[in-house]
Each structure stands twice: as C-alpha cells, then as structure tokens.
Structure 1
C-alpha cells in the first residue's frame, strides 16, 4: 500500500516471551489500527527460538494445581494457552534473571528481517521484546551488522513493560552515556512479571530530555484502552512532526507466526484490554 497521507512509516514490533508475531499483532489491535490510519505499517517478526511449555514451567517454578504444573501462559506472560507454537528472543538457562545470552541466530534473524522489510522508522516491544530492543538500541546497526543505507538512524522507541539486561556481559554496551533516541515507556501498576524497579532501570538508560513515562492501571500486558492508544499515537506524531519523509510504495506486512482463526484472535485480543 502507499504510505504518505499521515506521513507515516514502518515500525518494527518485537513480541514478548512465549508469544509470536501473530499473537502480538492481536494484542496490539487498537494501537495497530490507530497507527495504520496515520499511515504507519507495523511489522511483526517472530522470534527464532521455539519454547517448550513444560520446560518453561519448570524453569520459572510455576505452582502446581491438583498435582500438575499450572501452564497458564495467558496469565503469566500475556500469551495464549490455545496456541502450541510459542517463541522467544532468548531462553534463560536458569531461574536467575541474569542467566541468558543472546544467540547469534537471533541477531542474524533480525538482520535479515530488517534488510528484507525495512528500513524502519521506530521500534516497539513488549516485555522480553522491549528489553531486547532497548539493548539493541545501544548500537542498533553494529549489533545487527547493518549499514546506514540498510537502516538509517531510528527515530523513536516505545517500550511496554520493558527492562534493562542486567547481566555483566551487556553492561559495556549500555555504557555511561544515555541513549538519545526519543523513548516512551509504559508500565502497568499491577505488573508482577516486570517490576517497576526493573522497568525504571531501562527508562533511566535514555536521555532525560527525550524520555517519557506512562503508567496504566493494569498488569503485564499491552493496554488497548482508547486513552493509552491516544497517548502513544499522539506521542509518535509529536516526535515525527518536525521530520519529513519521502512517500514510498509499501506493501502491507503479515505478522510471522502460526495462523490463528478469527475467533481465537478475538479472544486473545480481549485479554489485553483494560
């Protein structure tokens, strides 16, 4: 489709743990529709790491109910209990939040995805996807081995329940200088998966002059309420208002991940509303 009426562009959407591009697309339905009216296309890649539900239940120490592990992905990670194909951008090696690395296949996959579908104007992420995006933004092109032609400087970042990678091997990348890219951080006041303390550590990695924080009265999910969607879209419009972009002919992307029927998509989407 032709993008130009709203001066929009492309936004890279990084889903949370045990989700997929398809699930994240349904979870951000209200935001996606509002941004599309402004001329933006949202692209939803699916992380390359397939996740086994039983292994995750053991890793996270989920409680047992009637002698069985509670495998409620919907309640734990804002995912879906009805979808077997769930993915992540990395997999923890133990219960400690620092026990993980970013595999080369994740970086290679995102390199290829940006080359094939970009360049992008901004990036949004939820939970693990927001944490990964925040880390990549320390030096997006270098970490993904992208030239400036393949991916010009990103213009904005939106984080839903994001967090800073705290393992020692990532700290040099964050450095002491705050990231200058305009950033919007949304945190649920009832979020028990990503605490406010963890979320604020990511927030504090960005320049105080261009970072913004919104708290919503919910838990660990992307809020689709009209009020929050309006805040996000207005913020993006304000960021873009002083920038001019050429009109490009672009095709509407399809989110990666397993296909979901319409009834299941509606059910998943309803979980993310407040």
Structure 2
C-alpha cells in the first residue's frame, strides 16, 4: 500500500518521518510506501498558544489550518490543506491510505470523505491510521461529521496523552461506523509510539485490511497496552536522508 502521511501541528514532513521512524521502517520492510508532505501553513512563534522551546524555534514549524478561534475567517479553514493534498495526489499518488498525527490525523479523518471531491483521480481510500486524532471544532468542518465515516480506520491513543486526551480521541472514534473502526491504546503520551507490540498491532491491522479480514469495533491488540513499556532514549541515527522530505 501507498500511504500519504500528514504531520502534527508545529511539525513538518521531515520531522514526522523521523518521529515515526519505527512505523516507517516496519511498513517499508513489509513492502509499503510512505509519502510525507509539509503542511501549507507556516507557523510563527507568535502564533503559538504556549512558550516554544529553542528546539521548536529552530524547526520549520508547519500546520494544516489555523487554530486561532478568534479569527473566524481562517480558524479551521481546510482549503489550503486540501490544495496541498490535491497537489500530492497529482505529483505522487494515487494513495491507498492515510497516516496522520494529531492535527494531521484530524485532517486525515476528514479526508477519508473529502478526498474523492478534492482529487477524483485517486481511488477510494482503503485504510487510515490515526495517531492522537481529534474531531475538528471549527464550525466550517462540522458537516463532515453528519454521517458516519466508513473507511477502515485504526485510532491509536496514548493513555497519558495530555494534548489529545483519550476522551477527546474517543469523540472522533465514535464518528466512525462500528464495523469500520478499531482502537489501539498505548501507555504513553502525545507521540507516535515505536514499541514493538504497538508496531506489530498496527501492521496486523494493515494486513487484516489487505486480506479482507477486518471486522471492526474492537481493540486491535488487547495485550498491547499491558505489554508495551514507555519509550526509552535511543541511540543516534543518521537523519540526513530526511532533510529534504516534503520539500519542493
């Protein structure tokens, strides 16, 4: 399968590829392709609702839409995000599925319905994998939630996530038809986990969708939460191959 990957708020394509390295390597090893793209919204330090760290200030911070609810014209407006996705489909598609994290996952959820309108040349999506996903709150986005989502989707949630708490993630999960959703919980926070039990559960979900065995409305791996341990520090890796990911 070929996946379009959408990063979180203040990340970018290159950074998401690094942060999701465990997932990326496992899927690549099993014959899948991941394409990472940059969000169209350039985020400045003044745009952030918190004091950024120096590491964040040194990052090319990107987003998919404005999060300032005081600006009704741009708040939650996905038009530019849709344009970026359409360009990605035309340049590197078609795509079989989506992988998203946080704001990118919230956008990916909508794209499971919107992509046929945005890029009619792309066949219907077969799968979506959403990490720390949430339902968009902007009034302009609410029409997407009027009917259940039906693309087979795995919702990955961190039980210690304080940015997108489990109850917030479940609001979006409940927007899915029961036969098209699974949930996978990990004992961590706001990140894409790389513990082996979690990765294997994600891969099993992908394989089930490919093989038509997907039944929906269950935990993807009942043992993943108890077997996995919080991520520990890792050795240094050579990230130079990712420096130009998502760049034109």
Settle same-fold status: TM greater than 0.5. yes
Distance 1:82 1:172 in 2: 35
Distance 1:166 1:94 in 2: 9
Contact in 1 for aligned 2:20/2:192 (Cα 8 Å): yes
Question: Residue 8 of structure 2 aligns with which residue?
Answer: 16
Per the alignment, in what secondary structure is the counterpart of residue 113 of structure 2?
coil
Q: What CA RMSD, in Å, does the superposition of the two structures yield over aligned residues?
A: 2.4
Of 110-119 and 99-108, deviating more is: 99-108
Higher relative CO (CA 8 A, sep ≥ 6), structure 1 or 2?
A: 1
Question: Residue 158 of structure 2 aligns with which residue?
Answer: 188
The answer to whether 1:202 aligns with 2:172 is yes
Per the alignment, in what secondary structure is the counterpart of residue 193 of structure 1?
coil
Q: Could you state the TM-score of these two structures normalised by the residue count of structure 1?
A: 0.73
Distance 1:17 1:26 in 2: 15
The answer to whether 1:215 aligns with 2:185 is yes
The answer to whether 1:71 aligns with 2:56 is no
Per the alignment, in what secondary structure is the counterpart of residue 138 of structure 1?
helix
**Which consecutive unaligned segments of at least 5 residues does structure 2 have?**
214-235, 241-248
Contact in 2 for aligned 1:138/1:174 (Cα 8 Å): no
Q: 1:110 offset after TM fit, Å?
A: 1.2
Cα deviation 1:61-115 (Å, max 9, x = unaligned): x3xxxxxxx4238xxxxxx53733110001222479xx81325332212111111
Q: 1:180 offset after TM fit, Å?
A: 1.3
Task: Determine which structure has more spread, i.e. the larger CA radius of gyration.
Answer: 1
Q: Could you state the TM-score of these two structures normalised by the residue count of structure 2?
A: 0.81
Q: 1:165 offset after TM fit, Å?
A: 1.1
Contact in 2 for aligned 1:178/1:205 (Cα 8 Å): yes
Distance 1:94 1:264, change over 3 A: farther
Contact in 1 for aligned 2:64/2:80 (Cα 8 Å): no
Per the alignment, in what secondary structure is the counterpart of residue 169 of structure 1?
helix
**Which consecutive unaligned segments of at least 5 residues does structure 1 have?**
1-8, 63-69, 74-79, 244-261, 267-274
List aligned pairs for 1:241-256, cutoff 5 A: 241-242=211-212
Per the alignment, in what secondary structure is the counterpart of residue 65 of structure 2?
coil
Cα deviation 1:170-191 (Å, max 9, x = unaligned): 222221x311111100111111
Question: Residue 39 of structure 1 aligns with which residue?
Answer: 31
> Which of residues 83, 91, 96 in structure 2 aligns to 1:116?
91
